[in-house]
Amino acid sequence: MSFPLLNPLRGAAATIDAKTPAHRDRAIDGLRALALLAVPTGHWLLGGFTLDTGGALHNASPLASFGFFAPLSWVLQMLGIFFLVGGHASALSYRRAVARGESTGAWLGGRLARLGRPVLGVTAVWAALLPVLYTLGVPGTTLRTASTLVIQPLWFVGVYTVITALTPWCLRAVERLGAWSTLPLLGSVAVVDFLRYGPFAEAMPSWLSLLNLLPGWLFAYQLGIAWGEKRLGRRGAWLLLAGGIALFAALLLVFHYPASMVGVPGEARTNSHPPSLLVLALAAVQSGAAILMRDRIGRLLRRPALWAPVVVINLSAMTILCWHQTALLAAAVPSSFLGAVPGLTTGPDTLGWIAARLAWLPVLAALLVLIGRYARAFEAPWKRVSHAGRALAGVLAAGFAVFALGLT
């Protein structure tokens, strides 16, 4: 059966496919796109709101009522894949830069600018929006809730920036130790977890968990560096897969780690902020599976209809990361004036909420596409923005961060 309306889409997909260089590693781009899509999907499915008597929104999560949702977080928490492909891509990019005679500082500056511009854009826009929304009658509590949601995904950019800056040293570690260079990172997280959850937990300072922040997320990035340097192959991937599954099961069943990979309101322990050993076990499983499936994914993405969306998603990576919560708020904040709207402003504590939120997903995706048409400009170099404009954006972004983090 022929669908004439699809012909322009097929033509666009064929054009994108034809323009793709033959040496492009489609599997890496496909894995990155998959990890990117998991971010909004996870936040939209596992995050909700409650509406108080004053009409203000408060954050809530279906995980607080439905423990059986926890395994869904194992699938949707794909930061391990993101850091894996990030390390792989950084290794190749850095090697090419060095071969061109480019300095480490210049290479790093270019990558950090690509990360920083969208973050500065979204925070500056929200800083300008807050007083406008307040004037229009949006409660201050709702604005605080919205600001928290907007800034929460941006922690990733800060951590990723630091880790990217460590790329030259990660490469040296791989040159000496290969994929085994990840073991000190794993061991470091294990020691900190033992101290904060073991028999000495009550005597440990509250900041101890922060020591897991860098090694916890660097683990998968270092695996990606080893993969990109061809020091991690199928044998290592099988070891990662089997070892990760065994460790994951032991931590859940024997050491009683929380089952959810994301924070649950009211729970004293969380796996992701900062990462626990369970996050590294999941990253090992995901990394092993990704490496083993690389060739199959690459062959699958030779189809133009599948490859074109991957290209579009990758070109909009930072826009998706920075603006997906804004898309959710664009639906929820106006709905809060209408009262109880199923799946948006009603508490995520019934099966009906789950069904309603699933129905809202296409709407949220459409809102993100609409917002992205304009917000994607922040990803490009700000050639037309004056120094004064950039300084103003920086001041607005800093002010928004202070408000969102509750420092005011």
The confidence score (pLDDT) of residue 3 equals 46
Q: What is the pLDDT of residue 406?
A: 76
Q: What is the mean pLDDT of residues 117-136?
A: 94
In this prediction, residues 55-83 reach a mean pLDDT of 89
pLDDT beyond 70 at 407? no
Reply yes or no on whether the pLDDT at 397 is more than 80: yes
d(CA 8, CA 19) in angstroms, rounded, equals 17
The secondary structure element, H or E, covering residue 45 is helix 26-46
pLDDT at 275: 93
Quick check: helix, strand or coil at residue 98?
A: helix
Q: CA 270 to CA 266: how far, in whole Å?
A: 10
User: Quick one: pLDDT at residue 101?
Assistant: 92
**What pTM value is reported for the model?**
0.92
Residue at 83: amino acid letter: F
d(CA 188, CA 167): 19
- With a cut of 70, say whether residue 404 has pLDDT above it: yes
Interacting residues of 340 by C-beta distance below 8 A, sequence separation 6+: 51, 346
Task: Provide the mean pLDDT of the chain.
Answer: 91
Q: Which amino acid is at 267?
A: E
> In this predicted structure, what is the pLDDT of residue 7?
59
Sort residue 55 into left (φ over 0), alpha (ψ -120 to 50) or beta: left
One-letter amino acid of 114: R
* Across 75-79, average pLDDT: 90
Task: Quote the pLDDT of residue 279.
Answer: 96
CA–CA distance, 237 with 198 (Å, rounded to integer): 31
State whether residue 271 is helix, strand or coil: coil
The string of pLDDT tens digits covering residues 167-191 is 999 999 999 999 999 999 999 999 9
Tens digits of residue pLDDT in 342-370: 999 999 999 999 999 999 999 999 999 99
Write out pLDDT tens, residues 224-240: 999 999 999 999 999 99
The Cα angle at residue 46 between residues 44 and 51, in degrees rounded to 5: 80
Statement: residue 1 has pLDDT above 60: no
Contact 124, 400 (CB under 8 A): yes
Dihedral angle at the C-alpha atoms of 115, 117, 118, 121, nearest 10 degrees?
150
Query: Is the pLDDT assigned to residue 4 strictly greater than 80?
Result: no
Q: Identify the pLDDT of residue 5.
A: 47
Per residue in 274-333, pLDDT tens?
899 999 999 999 999 999 999 999 999 999 999 999 999 999 999 999 999 999 999 999
